[in-house]
Structure 1
Amino acid sequence: MAFTIIRHPLILDKLTRMRKEETSSKDFRENLNEIGQLMVYEIFRDVPLQEIDIKTPVLKTTGYTVDIPVVLVPIIRAGLGMTEGIQRLVPTSRIAHIGLYRDEETLEPVQYYAKTTKDIESSYVIVVDPMLATGGSASKAIEIAKSWGAKQIKFVCLVAVQEGVDRIIADHPDVDIYTASLDPVLNDHGYIEPGLGDAGDRIFGTK
């Protein structure tokens, strides 16, 4: 298991824009998608490649192509906000969906939807959610992906706290975690501080 904080200047700049209370849903979504694209470079650093013979306008040579199918698994709702950006750089990726909501009293995830893709057991699987708070939803989503047969799984978020990271490490020590920020604390209501607020509401303008 690897835990990676991707501290690229462009990511930090865009993350700061997203944190601001006055940022509109449009700007929030655009920056989230752009961060997703920027994070792809690190997330796919170890993806297997296959050599292929190609012909340029000048001569024949050897090129490379990604040698494994890719499946993105956004946790609905907020995970959808990062999916488009990642898929722009990996346009052949397929998308599975997992719908979870957090019980406001127990803070535990409740599943209401799950739809897989074909061949997920042989795919490079990226579970996506902007926030890693208690870790309950992320752990549940990874559990569901594993029940579909997924074996090569990475979890990608924008903001995390140590409690959530520890939960994933304990429940799924075989899953790598990538984030743009490790924030200091989770408050009594289960929200990350300073965080982003409710990512789903800010993405879709529902509050």
Structure 2
Amino acid sequence: MEEKVIELKKNPVVQQLLCELRNPELQKNRFIFSANMKLLGILLAAKTSEFLEQKEVEVGSVLGTAKHRVTAHAPVLVNVLRAGTAMLSGNLEVFRESETTVIAASRNEETLECTVYYLALNDVVGREVIIVDPMLATGGTTSSVCSLLKKHGPTKIIVQCAFAAPEGIIKLESEHPDVLVIAAVVDKQLNEKGYIVPGLGDAGDLLCGKKVK
């Protein structure tokens, strides 16, 4: 059976970044937090590339020729505002020819229901799509974004996140069993407010400041 959740728990560099991202003292420095999230995006992008369509190319050097397997096409990157911005920047270091789609969604903190209220969509017909969102918590936002994207005909959707909760994974597997999740870590659970535990808090607030409206 094909694995639907890939966790980077054996990568010590990823684990070090997770330690720093969780650290409340380091979180006070927004520049460090953003830089760590960008670097994590680079590492996650490299792992994600293994699951994209590939092709073989032949390249000549001054001493001969060599064959390499590379990604066949640049994926479309979906930036889930606000929290996805730093990780997206890391992905663009790896997928340098990728186009970016922007989606903004909000979650009702009482019902935990998600509403997508902004979409700037590049052509995704027949293309591979990577949704970049640091936190896969309840799965509501991610599932809504997957449903929206599927209306436009992508060949594959991969969800890339820093932190995931079992509840969000279960929801996504139930509603979108064809979607692969690549996570730096799968944490224990959600709390009563729908936050990942132990998680790191609100990634969007830590990156951009608290919402005022």
TM-score scaled by structure 2?
0.91
Deviation at 1:199, TM superposition (A): 0.2
Amino acid at match of 1:11: V
1:189 paired with 2:193, answer yes
The count of residues paired between Structure 1 and Structure 2 equals 206
1:108-123 equivalences in 2 (<5 Å): 108-118=113-123, 120-123=124-127
Q: 1:165 aligns with which of 166, 169, 188?
A: 169
Q: Deviations over 1:77-106 (max 9, x none)?
A: 111121000110110111111110101221
Tell me how far apart the structure 1 counterparts of residues 167 and 58 of structure 2 sit (CA, whole Å): 48
Determine whether 1:152 maps to 2:152: no
Note the aligned Cα RMSD (angstroms): 1.6
Aligned partner letter, 2:18: L
TM-score by structure 1 length? 0.93
Alpha-carbon distance change, 64 to 194 in structure 1, aligned in 2, over 3 angstroms: closer
> Equivalents in 1 of 2:114, 2:195: separation in Å?
14
* Deviation at residue 67 of structure 1 after TM alignment: 1.2
Task: After superposition, give the CA deviation of every residue in 1:95-151 in whole Å (9 maximum; x if it has no partner).
Answer: 111110101221111111011112x12222101110111100010011111112122
Secondary structure of the structure 2 residue equivalent to 1:96 = strand
SS in 1 for 2:25: coil
Unaligned runs of 5+ in 1: none
Percent of paired sites with the same residue: 33
**Structure 2, unaligned runs of 5 or more:** none
Q: In structure 2, give the amino acid aligned to 1:163.
A: E
Q: How does 1:46-85 map to 2 (within 5 A)?
A: 46-85=51-90
1:6 equivalent to 2:8? Answer yes
* CA deviation after TM superposition for structure 1 residue 46, in Å: 3.0
| Counterpart secondary structure, 2:56 | strand
Q: Distance in 1 between matches of 2:69 and 2:136?
A: 34
One-letter code of the match for 2:161? C
Residue 116 of structure 1 contacts residue 148 of structure 1 at CA under 8 Å; is this kept in 2?
no
* In the alignment, structure 1 residue 198 sits paired with structure 2 residue 207: no
**Counterpart of 1:18?**
21
1:43 maps to which residue?
A: 48
